[in-house]
Amino acid sequence: MTILDKITSYKKLEVAARKQAFPVSLLKQSTLFNRDCYAMAKSVATGSGIIAEHKRRSPSKSVINESILLPEVVKGYENAGVSAISVLTDTKFFGGSLDDLLLARAYVNIPILRKDFIIDPYQIYEAKAYGADAILLIAACLEESQLQEYSALAKELGMDVLLEIHNEEELKKSLHPTVDLLGVNNRNLKTFEVSLDASKALSKLIPDSYVKVSESGISSIEAIKELKPFGYKGFLIGERFMKTENPGESAGEFIKALK
C-alpha cells in the first residue's frame, strides 16, 4: 500500500464524517461562498510564477516548521511577490486544517490553492466556502470521469483547477477544457525519489492552452532556469521556504534572485 493509498483511504472516512456534520447546504451559507475568486492561472502565467506553500509537516519529511504562525507566513509570501499560495488542509498527514485556509484568506489578496487529496465533490464546495480560489486534483487518485466531473464543478463555482500528473498515462486522462493549470510532480510516488526529468519529458505532451507547473524538487534558482525553456510558468515550492525561520523573507530573496 503506497502512502497515497493510505491517505485516500483515510480521507474517505474523514469526508464521510464531515458531510454529516456540515452538509453542502450549510457550506453554501458561508459568507465566502459567493465571493469572486482570484484567477490563479492568470496570476501564475503573468507574475513571478512562484506558488509558495504553507506546510507544517509531511509524511516524507515529518516536521518542517510548526513554530511560525500562519498569518506571518502568508503575509510574508504576498509581500515577497509570489503568484499564489498553496495551503495544505490535510490534518492527519500534513498538520494542516480548513481553518488554515480561512485564516490565510483573511490576510492576503492573492490566489490561494486548497491543497488536499480531493476524492469527493463535497471537498470542492468546502474549498469554496473556506475561501480558496483554486483546487488541486491529483490524477493518481481519481478516474477520468471524476477528473472531468470535479474540474467542471470547480469551474461552475468560479475556481481554477490545478491538475497534478506523474506520467504520460495520467496526462492522457487529464486534458479537459475545465482544467487551467497542469502540474507535473517530479516525485516518484513509489520510490519518493525526485527528478526534474519528469517535467522535461512531459512538457512537450502538454498543450499550450494549459499553464504548465512543475512541482517537487524545486529548491534552487538553477532548477527554475532549467525548466523555463520547457514552457513552465509555474513552480510549486513546498519546503524550501517553510524550513527557514522566516519563509516570507526567504521567498522574497529567492524571487529577487530569479529576476
Question: Is residue 56 left, alpha or beta, with left meaning phi > 0 and alpha meaning psi from -120 to 50?
Answer: alpha
**207 pLDDT exceeds 80?**
yes
Among residues 14, 43, 53, 78, the one annotated as catalytic is: 53
As to burial, measured by CB atoms within 10 angstroms (0-12 exposed, 13-18 middle, 19+ buried), residue 20 is: exposed
Report pLDDT digits (tens) over 18-64.
Answer: 999 999 999 999 999 999 999 999 999 999 999 999 998 787 667 77
245 is catalytic: no
Residue 215 known to be catalytic: yes
- Residue 35 Cα distances to 98, 110, 159, angstroms: 17, 13, 11
Residue 173's identity, in one-letter code, is K
Catalytic member of 14, 126, 164, 170 = 164
Given 11, 115, 128, 212, which residue is catalytic? 115
Q: Is 228 among the residues known to form the active site?
A: no
Place of cell 534552487: 220
- The rounded Cα 51 to chain-centroid distance in angstroms is 8
Does residue 55 have an active-site annotation? yes
Q: What is the pLDDT of residue 248?
A: 97
Q: Is 199 exposed, middle or buried (0-12, 13-18, 19+ CB in 10 A)?
A: buried
Task: Check if 253 is active-site.
Answer: no
Query: Of these residues, 14, 170, 215, 239, which one is catalytic?
Result: 215
Of the candidates 43, 185, 186, 214, the residue annotated as catalytic is: 185
Helix (H) or strand (E) holding 237: strand 232-237
* pLDDT tens string 122-163: 999 999 999 999 999 999 999 999 999 999 999 999 999 999
